[in-house]
Amino acid sequence: MPHAYRLSREGCAPETSRPDPARLLSGDPVHTTWNVEEREGLFAGLWQSTPGAWRVEYTEWEYCRILSGRSVLSEDGGEPLLLGPGDAVVIWPGFRGVWEVVETTLKDYVIRV
């Protein structure tokens, strides 16, 4: 494997999932994930979700950048972050709140557990 490569969905089998029904707040979001890199507690790839809202609790650190679509990330007791194409966010362990996909969203991500 080369030491540098483009993050792409090509040649990467997608995984499909949905939020845990106990965390679902609205809609019927379908998540598609392309894990391009997965080793030593590091994950990188692309994630897409159709509209809906669900509760989230992060135990890991994540950096993500919105490539397309619109989402709202709301931390319990905090101001909502409106996210659109080009926006980047860092989410620290301990974040609790709601991820709402308003318009089908595609993001790239790096997660460290």
CATH number of the domain residue 44 falls in:
2.60.120.10
Domain contains 10: no
Domain contains 8: no
Task: Read off the pTM.
Answer: 0.94
Domain contains 1: no
* Structural domain of 27: 15-112
pLDDT at 6 over 90: no
Domain contains 70: yes
Domain contains 2: no
Q: How confident is the model at residue 95 (pLDDT cuts 50, 70, 90)?
A: very high
pLDDT at 1 over 80: no
Domains identified in the chain, total number? 1
Domain contains 54: yes
| Closest to 99 (Cα-Cα) out of 18, 41, 38 | 18
| Closest to 19 (Cα-Cα) out of 44, 55, 57 | 55
Q: In which element (H, E) is residue 89 found?
A: strand 88-91
* Alpha carbons 106 and 85: distance in angstroms, whole number: 9
